[in-house]
Structure 1
């Protein structure tokens, strides 16, 4: 029987395992370089943050560890461990304490702990009884902070963004009905709040009123919808108010202008062949335009690393503490 020869789709040699659509592939692009190997295991690194002395802190989300790296020696040590916390971020309060976000059981037992920089004098700031799944936070100049609630999925969006008062006594909603709110950042003037929505692949840009809680008229929008698996993770800003968003399971960070337009990207080496895809968190080395990005290789054999590249401008530290 005669069968007509039909056109056939074919894979191209060298195709990336994590392709990007044409609009993103044409962005200004740089390749990050290895900066520090943390482990031979694929530890789930998260939450890069520097203190005023230049020490770096981060967490191993599923091991429950909070790490400190002293510079320039790059000496790594664990300063605190609580496995059931499942920590996802570290930020520095203006009083110098570490605030550690924990997602808990990924349902309702998340919390925020404060501690000294050696892991001592632990205090509960937001208890697990509040029912949140806390992934990240950002301080404002008043000493209060916004945090993300990593609950929900597209057909059941029950996560959101909340504000905790400077005396830590009240929690108020800012954004609700989100599918796993994840990364969060404030603009340099603290009038624009950024939040990433992991399970809906969206970037939120919110103009705040003077109280920092109410949204300005027509002030909430979604300037960008991401593609691919899995989605946008943690984020930070530079001194020009550009936003850097780590893309989980994509081995890269996308960069947006202060109005939400994509203007660049940083790729991790090995991503096209399926390595180091679990990029979670970007952070600038203080006083420089050098951006660190943490990632791990899962069970693919290359362990857990922190990478480095240069951003568009010097990093802005106001998102983690106030002088």
Structure 2
């Protein structure tokens, strides 16, 4: 697979969005910014939101919605790379924010659900009705960590409901092409889960009473991060430690691993002609790369139409 480096020097990039003009909007978690990477590699800060901006997605109003995890403590690797750690000393809580990509104006949309504060929102995806699903990975401290949840919310800043709770480090999320299944990854267990949806924001109970079912887990010490779905319904999940992208068949019957040169490959999105270009964040080394993917990506609501 031929790889082209678009930009380097990014401060732990995540949440890439391939824009129609050829640029890629992404977050720099350590820098606390929403940034735009031009095709020539130039990096422009759109907004400095602080905390820990994580997943990002285009909303129906043309604003970029961000999962802000509230901030990490950071560690420098021997090779000069970055590694996130525990909850930061200046952590003030998790939140969902939105940013006007033209002006940089930004505002908080959600900080809680049913009176329970958001801890570490991580990734989000919009459905065609204009609502969005998001994961709350939680925060880790020296001696304890939060349980994770999956939510459904509307951009109105009022409507939010919890679909899943009690999982461990819920990270990336994405919808199936027909939007009847929400996928989410559990980082530390290396598992891909699915939530069957009866309607937007309504999860179907599984035989055991829980709202989620296992698609497949990975063998050995491999962790899962953020994701995108291709046009054939395969779930392409960024993979940590065994750095790369792991493509899961939607029924879990098979997997295919595409390696890249970073132990923390954190996210993937699709853009370019016919959505055949994969844009991938290599986070410890601070790079955004691109390559031609074997299959076209799935068009995202409010962006690739």
More helix by share: 1
Map 1:10-25; keep pairs closer than 5 Å: none
TM superposition shift of 1:38? 2.0
What does residue 26 of structure 1 align with? none
TM superposition shift of 1:262? 3.1
1:146 corresponds to 2:143: no
TM-score by length of 1: 0.77
TM superposition shift of 1:253? 0.7
1:309 corresponds to 2:277: no
1:278 corresponds to 2:233: no
1:91 corresponds to 2:57: yes
Gap change, CA 1:262 and 1:119, over 3 Å in 2: farther
Aligned equivalents of 2:128, 2:304: Cα separation in 1:
6
CA deviations over 1:263-301 (Å, ceiling 9, x no partner): 3221114xxxxxx211100111243222121113x4xxx
Aligned equivalents of 1:78, 1:115: Cα separation in 2:
12
What secondary structure does 1:200 align onto? coil
What does residue 184 of structure 2 align with? 195
Map 1:54-65; keep pairs closer than 5 Å: 54-65=22-33
What secondary structure does 1:227 align onto? coil
What does residue 5 of structure 1 align with? none
TM superposition shift of 1:101? 1.4
1:215 corresponds to 2:204: yes
- From 225, 228, 243, the equivalent of 2:235 is 243
Gap change, CA 1:182 and 1:119, over 3 Å in 2: farther
Deviates more, 1:170-179 or 1:113-122: 113-122
The structure with more radius of gyration: 1
TM superposition shift of 1:194? 0.3
1:101 corresponds to 2:67: yes
Gaps of 5+ in 2: 72-86
TM superposition shift of 1:54? 3.5
Does the Cα contact within 8 Å between 1:202 and 1:222 map onto a contact in 2?
yes
Gaps of 5+ in 1: 1-30, 270-275
Aligned equivalents of 2:236, 2:124: Cα separation in 1:
16
Does the Cα contact within 8 Å between 2:248 and 2:256 map onto a contact in 1?
yes
Does the Cα contact within 8 Å between 1:156 and 1:179 map onto a contact in 2?
no
What does residue 224 of structure 1 align with? 216
- From 60, 70, 92, the equivalent of 2:38 is 70
What does residue 123 of structure 2 align with? 136
Aligned equivalents of 2:266, 2:4: Cα separation in 1:
15
TM superposition shift of 1:252? 0.6
What does residue 267 of structure 1 align with? 259
TM superposition shift of 1:156? 6.4
TM superposition shift of 1:232? 0.2
Structure number with higher relative contact order (C-alpha < 8 Å, ≥ 6 residues apart): 1
Gap change, CA 1:108 and 1:190, over 3 Å in 2: farther
More strand by share: 2
What does residue 253 of structure 1 align with? 245
Gap change, CA 1:232 and 1:224, over 3 Å in 2: same
Does the Cα contact within 8 Å between 1:141 and 1:322 map onto a contact in 2?
no
TM-score by length of 2: 0.82
Does the Cα contact within 8 Å between 1:191 and 1:212 map onto a contact in 2?
no
Aligned equivalents of 1:93, 1:282: Cα separation in 2:
18
CA deviations over 1:160-211 (Å, ceiling 9, x no partner): 1000035331211111111111000001111010000112221101211124
Gap change, CA 1:55 and 1:180, over 3 Å in 2: same
